[in-house]
Copies of this chain bind each other. A is one copy, B any other.
C-alpha cells in the first residue's frame, strides 16, 4: 500500500516560505494571488495489507517524526 502524507503549517504560524513564494509570483507578474502556504508531501510505500492498520501506523509516524505538532498539522491518505 501507499501512504500519502501532507504536512502543513498550522494556521497562525507564519510561513516564511509561502510568503516568499507569494512575493516571487507577484514579481513575476502573476496578479490576483492571495495567500500562499507551503508544506511537505511525503509518499511512503508500505507492505501492510490492511488499510486501517496502515493508517494507524502512518499517523504514529507523523506524531513521532514526520510532523512537528507544535507548528504543523498532518493529513494521511492510504491508497492501494
Q: Report the count of interface residues on A (CB-CB < 8 A).
A: 33
Contacts of A24 in B (CB 8 A): 65
Q: Please report the C-alpha to C-alpha distance between residue A37 and residue B38 in the assembled complex, in whole angstroms.
A: 17
| A42 contacts partner chain B, Cβ-Cβ < 8 Å | yes
Partner of A39 from the list B42, B45, B47, B66 (CB cut-off 8 Å) is B42
| A12 contacts partner chain B, Cβ-Cβ < 8 Å | no
| A36 contacts partner chain B, Cβ-Cβ < 8 Å | yes
Given contacts A7-B41, A34-B47, A37-B42, 11 further A-B contacts (CB under 8 A): A8-B41, A22-B44, A24-B65, A25-B44, A30-B60, A32-B47, A33-B44, A34-B44, A35-B43, A38-B40, A39-B40
